[in-house]
Structure 1
Amino acid sequence: MTTRALCDADIVFVDDDADLREANVQALQLAGLRATPFASAAGVLESLTPDFAGVVVTDVRMPGMNGIELFRAIRALDPDIPVVLISGHADIAMAVEAMSEGAYDFIAKPYAGPRLAETLRRALEKRALIIENRRLRAMATADEGAGALVGETPAMVRLRQTIHHLADVDVDVLVLGETGTGKEVVANLLHRLGRRRAKPFVALNCGALPETVIESELFGYEAGAFTGAQKRRIGRIEHSSGGTLFLDELESMPVSAQVKLLRVLEAREIAPLGSNELRPVDLRVVAATKVDLASPAARGEFRADLFYRLNVVTLRLPPLRERRRDVPLLFAHFLARAARKYGREMPKLDRSVERHLVENDWAGNVRELVHFAERVALGLGEAAPPIGATTGRPGQSLPDRLGTIEANLIREALEAHGGDVRATVEALGIPRKTFYDKLVRYGIERAAYEKER
């Protein structure tokens, strides 16, 4: 039996008794199921692959490798391939044990043909759902999970392998990398590729909230816990129970919140502000930092015990300057994405763009490369001039020169995003109110950058 033939089968039927084997295969075919016979377990294992979309039916008692051993071998190959065991009365205890290990079902002899056919139809439906979910996950990984993790340098290959290995493991992860290297992309992949993906992915930027707010955001509060707390609020930690809690800029977390977070991580339970009730949480934390917290000098006021509690596994994202060989591949990926986003044809690259890809230090890492690819897709591919070239007229004061630079950066962001406020604000990394204040200050007309529809 070849692998090619096996791919055309719904059912693999294994029995060393030739008469029973042929009779059952015929019965299944009459029931509308494509069945392929095998006389031994060894023959099945030679042909079976993890992408087999069908079901295996096997007798328990067979010479050489028996049905239980075949089930365990198939489980090692792909634990999601349904295996149905056919057992005589004396073998039922073994079949029940195999069920506890993950066998799909067992059918005791003698059995009616329709009973077997119905069981196999249900098993095929389950297998089809598993195959489809795998396909969708692979598509999600290829499309969304690519981004910052595209690359063929050894560091990126190892990083992707490690992410896939850790996705289904309930272990806290620390992600270390400079700004713009893709730390949140890693956190999202760890969540989406694991069994927690059906539950919330909850993100909190520890550097974006004042000390007076971050504790209530993390831990929640009861009505009346403090002035203004008119109703109960579920904190980010409790909301992420069963899913993933992503703490960005961990190094910026106030010391008071660090103490409480450490207690939550150790006990896996939480007491909201204003409550003495302890609530259990099913917690998985992915924390990101641009500071090497393993260094006491860099750690500063960050608690060493919290660092060591979170530092079960550390994933380091290399900056672009350490993987320059990946820059052309990354740029091609982001340029294609930007062309689709803006409905443009893929542009031809001139020498200035190619030179910029090679010579630029990419201090902003992947984020800077994404914005450059978008400018190229929009036909604005000339490299951004050096800071010194945007400083305005000679003799300007330092604040005025800095204002000129800031105004130019805002205009570039508006141009790149077609005047879209939300996208521009996200690209600039400033609050919406600050953005509008600066438009007024520099006399910039946002509407002038809107694309024609």
Structure 2
Amino acid sequence: MSMHRVLLVDDDDTMRHSTAQALELAGFEVEPLSSAEEALALAGPGFDGAVVSDIRMPGMDGMSLLSALHDVDAEIPVILVTGHAEVQLAVAAMRHGAYDFIEKPFVVQELVSVLRRAVDHRGLVIENRRLRAVAGKRDDIEARLPGRTQLMVELRYRLRAIGASDADTLIIGPTGVGKEVVARALHDISPRAGKPFVAINCAALPEALIESELFGHEAGAFPGALRPRFGKFEHARGGTVLLDEIGQMPVELQAKLLRVLQDRVITRLGANEPVPLDVRFIATSKTDLAEAVAKGRFREDLYWRLNVAALHVPPLSARREDIPLLFLHLVRESAARHGVAEREIPPAHLAALAAGDWPGNVRELRNQSERFVLGLDPMQAAAPQGARLAERMAEYERSQIASAITAHGGRLKAVYETLGISRKTLYEKMQKHGLDRRLILDPAESDDD
């Protein structure tokens, strides 16, 4: 049986050697290192273990090491060791992709437990990559989550890596970005794909029946309970439970959920015998749960238990370059659903869409695509057929400029160089044609950069 590899980084010689000895006794192959730079040299994309690093070190510190390692391979599990007063720093580290953190002074068994989960997860990631490479397996993740921006490329990459594991996952993103689409994709590419996917809206659970709904009950457990009933957790056995908007779950229930996550057993209302529970939990939140923890609205221990792996789904405002492509994709879906021919979409229309605010994100854009397909969108009117030559020329010029701005992601220098005009002329024509300046990603860009 091969030993799990651990890179242990700590500039304190005594701490480093004592921790290394304890981890070796627990069955790990430990490489004790006194600097982050040494760890960076040893951990490449094929590294099959985990990294444990002190967060405070001279030279490259733990946070910088985390960032540098994730530039090499975003799925290398990094566990940071923090001081008692560094919890806020640890929270920031988790947001930036740390696998977990452990607070000094710690019991070695706590670190061993976290490391075993981390290296098991890493092993699944490596194995999944190997199998995909050998089998040339294709999936439909790109069709479900289209987009060419780096944010979406990284989201799909991370989703595929996490999907192969059994790790509980937290999906974070504002309303309408497609968090449930991501959750279903995770389920469908996992070994649990053939088992149930049970979605639970934590904000809509009836307070009086909440425990019965989740845990089930025996006959006679409460007035009206005439026969035994499985709860939603049991219905998902072998599959995945989606806890949608987990931040809305009542605090009293959070403690019970924590026990389920820790022990993987439930007890039905009115029963004494625990029932083993084989499920994977995926939770979504539109709010910053770390902030909710700080304000006492969400249990900190539950937050860290759910946050074994995290996926951040970006809003449309953070990936405007994807909006035209995504709209085309949604129009095709809508046209097929309504059984109508696809309409040609003028470039100026796509440019205008890319300039929009879209507070409802993909959900709102999908609604817009439906209206477009059904001919209910006032934006799709182009120059009338009977328009005079000057009007047609103006509309053509507007569409060319709008298309170029969209194609270059709002980078003005690339736009005016492609069109062969000056920056000043581009601004004048944008103003003349009413093109929204929110298309510009970098208003500080100058002619000589």
Matches within 5 A, 1:359-438: 359-383=355-379
Partner of 1:316: 312
Shift in Å, 1:358 = 2.6
2:378 is paired with a residue whose SS is coil
Which residue matches 2:254? 258
Q: How many residues align?
A: 253
Distance 1:76 1:250 in 2: 31
Q: Match for 1:230 among 226, 236, 240?
A: 226
Residue 188 of structure 1 corresponds to: 184
In structure 2, the residue corresponding to 1:196 is in which secondary structure? coil
Identify the match of residue 242 of structure 2 among 229, 236, 246: 246
- What is the CA RMSD across the aligned residues, in angstroms? 2.5
1:357 corresponds to? 353
The amino acid of 1:305's aligned partner reads: D
Deviation at 1:210, TM superposition (A): 2.5
Q: Secondary structure at the match of 1:197?
A: coil
Letter aligned with residue 215 of structure 2: F
How far did residue 229 of structure 1 move?
1.0
Whole-Å separation in 2 of the counterparts to 1:324 and 1:80: 32
After TM superposition, the structure 1 = structure 2 runs for residues 433-444 of structure 1, keeping only pairs within 5 Å, are: none
- Shift of residue 303, structure 1, vs aligned partner: 1.3
Paired position in structure 2 for 1:396 = none
Normalised to the residue count of structure 1, the TM-score between the two structures is 0.53
Q: How does 1:8-407 map to 2 (within 5 A)?
A: 78=131, 138=139, 140-141=140-141, 146-147=143-144, 149-296=145-292, 300-350=296-346, 353-383=349-379
Q: 1:181 to 1:79 in 2, by over 3 A?
A: closer
In structure 2, the residue corresponding to 1:234 is in which secondary structure? coil
What's the CA shift string for 1:271-325, capped at 9, x where partnerless? 0111111011112100001111112477542211111111111111111101111
Q: Judging changes above 3 Å, is the alpha-carbon distance between structure 1 residues 299 and 312 closer, same or farther for their aligned structure 2 residues?
A: farther
Shift of 1:350: 4.4
In structure 2, stretches of 5+ residues that fail to align are: 1-127, 381-449
Computing the radius of gyration over CA atoms, which structure comes out larger, 1 or 2? 1
Seen in structure 2, the aligned counterparts of structure 1 residues 80 and 332 have a Cα distance that, compared at 3 Å, is closer
Cα offset, 1:380, TM superposition: 1.1
CA distance 1:339–1:211, shift in 2 (3 Å): same
* Cα distance in structure 2, aligned partners of 1:77 and 1:253: 39
Q: Indicate if the aligned counterparts of 1:352 and 1:382 stay in contact, CA closer than 8 A.
A: no
Cα distance in 2 between the residues matched to 1:351 and 1:167: 37
Following superposition, the deviation at residue 154 of structure 1 comes to: 0.8
Deviation (angstroms), 1:214: 2.1
Q: Percent identical across equivalent pairs?
A: 48
Whole-Å Cα distance in 1 between the matches of residues 316 and 184 of structure 2?
20
Q: Quick check: 1:362–1:368 contact (8 Å CA) kept in 2?
A: yes
- Taking structure 1 as reference, are residues 373 and 79 closer, same or farther at Cα in structure 2, changes over 3 Å only? closer
| In structure 1, distance between residues paired with 2:237 and 2:213 | 15
Give the letter for the 1:226 counterpart: F
Superposition deviation, residue 338 in structure 1: 0.6
Distance 2:150 2:133 in 1: 31
> Which residue identity lines up with residue 271 of structure 2 in the other structure?
S
* Alignment check: 8 A CA contact 1:339 1:345 kept: yes
* CA-CA distance at 1:141 after TM superposition: 3.9
SS of the aligned residue for 1:166 comes to helix
Using the alignment, how far apart are the partners of 2:129 and 2:235 within structure 1?
36
Letter of the 1:286 partner, please give it: I
Distance 1:78 1:338 in 2: 35
Provide closer, same or farther for how the CA distance between residues 76 and 336 of structure 1 changes in structure 2, counting only shifts above 3 A. Answer: closer
Query: 1:228: Cα distance to partner?
Result: 1.1
Extract structure 1 runs of 4+ deviating beyond 2 A: 75-81, 296-300, 348-356
Contact 1:291 1:298 in 2 (8 A): no
